[in-house]
Structure 1
């Protein structure tokens, strides 16, 4: 069974060629702020940049001029003399008059950030900033890494058919969750699992700021990276220079609210795709958008009992078909591939959807996986309160099916299993709340009207909490700055990051 959906766009970051953006405002030459008590050794360490060879395979996706390093942080900030972790960094140095470092995070949680150094190529961002990507603790090339399933176990889990929400099916699903959690403890250790959440990562970010030599942080975070940015702004408002949060997560939402908003977001983008597809006579969902959900279910429902044929011996399972479709809904650039995949499925074949699912789940050509999915689960379970009431789980399941009928497998019964986090072996360390950051300088939130994973209203709400400038991007897709290729948006973001020029009020791109 699948345990959750990433609330992050996994599409490639586009490199744009933009003209200069005005006068750069340099970071103050003042000394760095003093480190918190007991943490001097971490804050004052020097970063030893070198080759990216061996950084979790990420070196194959990094530009040739990228440097890499690791920075030490305490596993538990309450015990700085205890075990340590190493945060993996990547850097492309500024090509011109340097303002400072721009810390970058692509979201997830659980996604490697090393390849984000390509963001802003050809712009004043590249000229004026060292662009620095990082793998949050436990993720990617950071050490130690979160590990739960072997590759064989992950493949087997993906192949499982969905369970019925009968008493027996619910018991089976909850037993699977307990088994998964136990595997995480055995392979990762409870101490690290207890300290991989947003609470710790934002403290790591402040260590990185100091180790990089910046008195104040300049930051660009996508999706879950916006949650990191908002939490950092709340804890360290005096340490923020500039902050852009794109594909915003509203930290005041509880997990149930967030999942239902996301379900509605995916349904909205599915409907947009179906309407676009219906303009073509060969659309696999037909030419009537009102019938698209029914036609889609006719294509995917048979996979619950038998996989579709693929050139890969695994075949296309029901879970992988749904995962592949959701991957394609993250960006309009994947819609032609989605049409191809659904057309193949109509003929009983599943190669394209399997390829999309493998991309979403970070399965490599050699059959191994990155630890993205295991890290996603571990971080999510310490970041959010758990749903432990069966009545709440049942209500959430019923409302999710209504919000996203294209994802309704027809197995709803008025009951539902408790999700994975209800069985998690360590407590959650964050709770939903409105962000309060007195003294925070002007920040920027970018929100896309047709974002399936972090719906538009979440960005509106986060901007209000932060007192941030809101840029609305009209389109379908998850995240937009330096991704959608929109000059209006990218120019505004560059002007802000470089010169601290706030976007015009109510900017729509």
Structure 2
């Protein structure tokens, strides 16, 4: 399941961002170009033309980066950048922000959801900068299928029982065709959507923004970009906050299994809360309710529930729908409404959640986040080489997450692992711990019942990093900062604004 800040996801689902408004350029930092290799000099010495855009205090520009950092002269990509400019005389620098994904729009996150991402003291101390990573949104995009083709790819009624060996085999030609379409419609960029390339883009942005050190706020998969940056450029690390982190030392089968266990834990917490409230669609003990849920999901995902546009609910789509409201405790009542609808034979809310998660708006218009997600994961990790490996991890997921894990895996682990077995490009990265020797203190923030990036990942990453500082939040939901926990906000704000590092985990 993709991990991203729910505030950014929710806003992106309902708002349409207008293009940058042409106006007089906004003055940027006046700094000398960095000393870099000759073939990188044109990129690090480019002049940025900032223009006022979006709303008061916002400015936009476009940055040119090498498509292939190992061969800078072989082509380039465009990165769309937006910043909220501070007027404070005590400006610390620029703060890059990434909301996660992979495939989330940092441009939209800052332009539309700045107050959901950062507190006022941080906005005063920094120019807050969002960008669409390579392949995403307004930057040079990854494009695979058109809307009708994506509908068929994500929502088509399976010809074989989901979860069966025959169904797995039927997915192979589908995923091969998807990868071939991505290559045809994207070109060579498809092989350079990896986290290391994004980290090098971040260093370019840091330099062009006039900062000697990188200050960064990364959520969910955005933490992987930050960790890769710390590995590549440890002496350029400024103040890095990695909230809801991915554990870089986990193999992909381990990572997906751990994540599905996280969703199982969050679903159990949701059901426990639901049973204590009026109008809960379940009854009896927790075990009773979990059994009711599993039976309902199996029935609803196989009985052919259809919505007005003709799409028919299947188990994989239902798994996607279940995961979406588990990202945020405030969305649990909406999950209850969806489940009550399923009990009455209505799949409308289930499709609403699945569409929001898949970046689909009315008329089968997609934001291509699914394309980037698959392309990035295929480059950022190693997957089983055959369906037997896919099946082995499906079994591990079903054991670790017995209520929801299996159906959640159908539209995620199964899709990704088979796609990556047949991807046009080999993986760039493999699982390994990241130490970032000589880096300044790096703040790692974890939530004890985070469904998408379980708390164990935060503990592991903070331990791996030579300068890792763990900050824990006790509670439910994906990521912690700027979500209403005063202790977390105070700790992160003091670190970003003043550089204050807690002497011990505050256990917020």
Same fold, TM exceeding 0.5? yes
Cα deviation, 1:112-156, whole Å, max 9, x if unaligned, reads 11133204555221111100001110111101x101121111212
> How many angstroms does 1:311 deviate by?
4.7
Gaps of 5+ in 1: 16-28, 53-61
State the 1:288 CA deviation: 2.2
Which residue in 2 is equivalent to 1:82?
74
Note closer, same or farther for the CA distance 1:371–1:430 as it changes in structure 2 (3 Å cut): same
Distance in structure 2 (CA, Å) of the matches to 1:409 and 1:477: 20
Alignment partner for residue 179 of structure 1, among 163, 177, 180?
A: 177
Query: Structure 1 183/14 Cα, relative in aligned 2: closer, same or farther at 3 Å?
Result: closer
* Correspondence 1:383 to 2:375: no
Q: 1:224 aligns with which of 221, 234, 239?
A: 221
CA distance 1:321–1:166, shift in 2 (3 Å) = closer
Q: Does 1:70 align with 2:58?
A: no
Of the structure 1 ranges 372-381 and 171-180, higher mean CA displacement relative to structure 2 is found in: 171-180
Shift of 1:389: 4.3
1:218 and 1:89 mapped to 2: Cα distance? Answer: 16
1:396 counterpart = 2:393: yes
Q: 1:148 aligns with which of 128, 140, 144?
A: 144
Against the structure 1 CA distance between its residues 374 and 270, is the aligned structure 2 distance closer, same or farther, given a 3 Å change threshold? same
Shift of 1:292: 2.4
Residues 1:263 and 1:14: Cα distance change in structure 2 (over 3 Å)? closer
Higher alpha-carbon deviation: 67-76 or 362-371: 362-371
Match of 1:336 in 2: 333
Alpha-carbon distance in structure 2 between the residues aligned to 1:439 and 1:254: 26
For 1:430 and 1:122, locate their aligned partners in 2 and report how far apart those are by CA, in whole Å.
34
Distance of 2:274 and 2:194 partners within structure 1:
40
- Cα deviation, residue 320, structure 1: 2.6
Checking the alignment, whether the CA contact within 8 Å between 1:95 and 1:126 is kept in structure 2 is no
Deviation at 1:215, TM superposition (A): 1.0
Structure 1 residue matching 2:365: 3-state secondary structure: coil
Tell me which residue corresponds to 1:274: 271
Report what 2:489 is aligned to: 490
d(CA) in 2 for partners of 1:223, 1:376: 13
Q: Secondary structure at 1:405's aligned position in 2?
A: coil
In structure 2, the gaps of 5 or more residues are: 12-29
Deviation at 1:7, TM superposition (A): 3.0
> Which residue in the other structure is 2:108 paired with?
115
- Which residue does 1:209 correspond to in 2? 206
- Which range is displaced more, 31-40 or 444-453? 31-40
1:203-352 to 2 correspondences below 5 Å: 203-314=200-311, 316-352=313-349
Partner of 2:20: none
For residues 247-268 of structure 1, give each alpha carbon's deviation from its aligned partner in whole angstroms, at most 9, with x where no partner exists. Answer: 0111111101101100110000
Is residue 2:457 matched to residue 1:461?
no
d(CA) in 1 for partners of 2:270, 2:485 = 20
Distance 1:166 1:350, change over 3 A: closer
- 1:255-291 superposed Cα distances (whole Å, 9 cap, x missing partner): 0110110011000000000101111343112242112
Task: Give the Cα–Cα distance (whole angstroms) in 1 for the partners of residues 427 and 407 of structure 2.
Answer: 30
Q: Report the TM-score, using the length of structure 2 for normalisation.
A: 0.89
Alignment of 1:124-139 (within 5 A): 124-139=121-136
Q: Deviations over 1:378-416 (max 9, x none)?
A: 01001111211444333211111111122335999xxx8
Number of residue pairs matched? 478
Shift of 1:166: 4.4
Give TM-score, length-normalised by structure 1. 0.88
8 Å Cα contact 1:10/1:360 also seen in 2 = no
Contact 1:448 1:480 in 2 (8 A): yes
- Please tell me whether the aligned partners of residues 107 and 224 of structure 1 are also in contact (alpha carbons under 8 angstroms): yes
Distance in 2 (alpha carbons) for counterparts of 1:323 and 1:213: 41
Find the counterpart in structure 1 of residue 480 from structure 2.
480
Give how far 1:331 is off: 0.7
Note the C-alpha offset of 1:479. Answer: 0.5
- Judge which range, 224-233 or 77-86, deviates more: 77-86
Contact 1:161–1:318 at 8 Å: present in 2 too? no
Q: Which moves more between the two structures, 191-200 or 283-292?
A: 283-292
Matches within 5 A, 1:410-421: 419-421=418-420
Tell me how far 1:51 sits from its aligned partner: 5.0
Offset of 1:39 from its aligned partner?
Answer: 0.8
CA distance in 1, matches of 2:119, 2:450: 26
Contact 1:123–1:494 (CA under 8 A) maintained in structure 2: no
Q: Which residue of 1 aligns with 2:98?
A: 105
Given that 2:251 and 2:382 are in contact with CA atoms closer than 8 Å, whether structure 1 keeps it comes out as yes
CA distance in 1, matches of 2:442, 2:471: 11
Cα distance per residue 1:40-73 (max 9 Å; x no partner): 1111212212255xxxxxxxxx655422211000
CA contact (8 A) 1:279 1:287 kept: no
